[in-house]
Amino acid sequence: MPSRHANPLRRRTLPLLLLAGDTLCVLGGMLIGYALRYHTAFGSTFVDVLNPRLIDYLPLLALGTIFLLAAFVHLNLYDERLLLRRYLAFSIIFKGTTFWFVAYLGVSLVLKFDPPISRLFVVFAWIGVFALLYIWRNLFYSIVSSPSLREKIQQRTAILGWNAEVQALVNEIMPLQAHPLKLIGTVALPASVHSQPPFTRILPELGGFSELAELFERERIDVLIAARLDLPTRDIARLVELCERHYVDLKVVPSMFQVFFAGLRLQTYGRVPVLGVEELAIEKLLNRVSKRCVDVVGALIGLVLFAPVVAILAILIKRESPRGSVFFPQSRIGSNHRPFTLYKLRSMAPDAPAIDHLQQSTGRNDPRLLGIGRFMRRWNLDEVPQFWNVLKGEMSLVGPRPERPAHVERLTGEIPHYLPRHLVKPGMTGWAQINGFRGDSSIVQRIQYDIYYIENWSPWLDAQILTLTLIRWRNSSAY
């Protein structure tokens, strides 16, 4: 529902400015690609295409520009809610440009253009487009994030009621000054509703439910977030009517669905609407097949590339600890709660597993650790044999890290929503790990990141995790 207070700056001017700037950047990036391909010493060494004139290449540049901008529009890059979401917008730009890169190459192979599209030009153009968009977008966000302009495009938001889910939402938004929502206060529930649980007040109370009409006008509220809707039917009807009359966007925190609420969809059975969780993207057949193909290719590459490293580490392990095997097999719980044997390079003394079940992770001064074991754990080299688990189909390159059976049983009773992480294959790396939750870190926060990964899975998220894993290869929390 559009807000009455939504100004043209937020809804039209800035999105159109972004579109215009992106258009210039895309066209400029393609011109850079053309210049690098046909007017530099490096590009001229390739003779797969005769050097065309720029005037002859302009239709191809225009076609590529239109195609990429259409991809951006399809991905909702110009949604007003992204005006202050720098990194989310960059994620969409990366998806769009990468899709454009693959599609443009594919089109050039299938269709015959005159002049033909040089594949090297497409590579240069992709680099040029992404570089210019990165510079332009950073300049834009540095301007709109300034206090004077930020206030004009944020949506003034009030909270109706309070619960743990709203507390978590507020904790997420409050530290971010440049957030699309500006939290201004809370509204008390009707007197007929049971009192809300005690909480640490971090927002001022604006008034009560009976004063909503006045509050909407006085506080210029754009968005009202309801913590709960277990209100009397008369109060719900009144709430909806007031929001419609004052053009306030009404949102509800789905406290009933504490897991996978991103997959909530409204369906109809006959004429009756039913709200429920649809099939997750990561569980769809085509996505499972594509993810498995990536796993097989990645595992084969990993096994080949790291074979010399494993051989050297095996020699060092045997030199420091002759007794015991080089490899350390351990039972873990995989997808659908099936146990499997996980393989690692042994980083501890041979008798270490005797007390391994007593602790969740290895402590800083654990005497069982080998000297070479500390080094391997610091750089995650002890995990390399798990490429074999990936190749066998027991694990994936990306997914929640697998736990030991005893810990799974214990954590199931201690942590709410722990078991849904076993809906997918465990991974060598994951969303939690690249965000610092590994080793002796908060298991609760680790589970939250695992759940986020499962319900927000996409090939792009996997690519992002794998890229960040390579960048953050060193494990600063391991001992």
- Where residue 193 falls among pLDDT bands split at 50, 70, 90? low
Contact assessment for residue 185 and residue 205, using Cβ atoms and an 8 Å cutoff: yes
248-280 burial code (b ≥16 CB/10 A, e <16): bbbeebeeeeeebeebeeeeeeeeeeeeeeeeb
Whole-number pLDDT of residue 474 = 63
- What counts of helices (H) and strands (E) characterise the chain? 17, 11
Beta-carbon contacts of residue 214 (< 8 Å; ≥ 6 apart): 207
The answer to whether residue 241 scores a pLDDT higher than 70 is yes
Query: Please, what's the largest Cα pairwise distance for the chain?
Result: 79
- Where residue 2 falls among pLDDT bands split at 50, 70, 90? very low
Cα gap 401→389, rounded to integer Å? 13
- Where residue 88 falls among pLDDT bands split at 50, 70, 90? confident
The answer to whether residue 479 scores a pLDDT higher than 50 is no
Task: Give how far Cα 272 sits from Cα of 256, 266, 268, 269, 330, Å.
Answer: 19, 10, 5, 5, 50
Q: What angle, 0 to 180 degrees and rounded to 10, lies between the N-to-C axes of helices 54-74 and 86-110?
A: 130
pLDDT higher for 194 or 303? 303
Which helix (H) or strand (E) segment holds residue 277: the answer is strand 272-277
Q: Which of 219, 214, 193, 226 lies closest to 204 in space, CA to CA? A: 219
Structure tokens at 455: 């319900």
Residue 446, Cβ density class (10 Å: 0-12 exposed, 13-18 middle, ≥19 buried): buried
Percent of the chain with pLDDT over 90: 37
What confidence tens digit (pLDDT) does each residue in 433-470 have?
998 887 666 788 888 889 889 988 999 899 989 988 88
Whole-number pLDDT of residue 362 = 59
- Where residue 176 falls among pLDDT bands split at 50, 70, 90? confident
Give the range among 94-108, 117-131, 146-160, 285-299 with minimum mean pLDDT.
94-108
Whole-number pLDDT of residue 179 = 86
pTM of the model: 0.66
Q: Which of 103, 34, 36, 21 lies closest to 68 in space, CA to CA? A: 103
- Where residue 229 falls among pLDDT bands split at 50, 70, 90? confident
DSSP conformation class of 180 = S
Cα gap 406→391, rounded to integer Å? 26
Look at residue 270 and give its three-state secondary structure. coil
Whole-number pLDDT of residue 270 = 57
Whole-number pLDDT of residue 392 = 95
Cα gap 225→157, rounded to integer Å? 7
Which class is 154-256 in CATH?
alpha beta
The answer to whether residue 180 scores a pLDDT higher than 50 is yes
The answer to whether residue 385 scores a pLDDT higher than 90 is yes
What confidence tens digit (pLDDT) does each residue in 111-167 have?
666 677 778 888 899 999 999 999 999 999 999 988 888 888 888 999 998 887 788
- Where residue 173 falls among pLDDT bands split at 50, 70, 90? confident
Give the range among 167-171, 275-279, 315-319, 467-471 with minimum mean pLDDT.
275-279
pLDDT higher for 409 or 197? 409
Give the range among 6-15, 244-253, 443-452 with minimum mean pLDDT.
6-15
The answer to whether residue 476 scores a pLDDT higher than 90 is no
The answer to whether residue 359 scores a pLDDT higher than 90 is no
Whole-number pLDDT of residue 297 = 95
Q: Where are the domains of the chain?
A: 8-148, 154-256, 285-471
Tell me the average pLDDT across 374-387: 91
Residue 148, amino acid = S
Whole-number pLDDT of residue 423 = 87
The answer to whether residue 318 scores a pLDDT higher than 50 is yes
Beta bridge partners, 185, equal 158
The answer to whether residue 250 scores a pLDDT higher than 80 is yes
Q: Is the dihedral of CA 424, 429, 432, 437 positive or negative?
A: positive
Whole-number pLDDT of residue 400 = 94
Residue count (the chain): 479
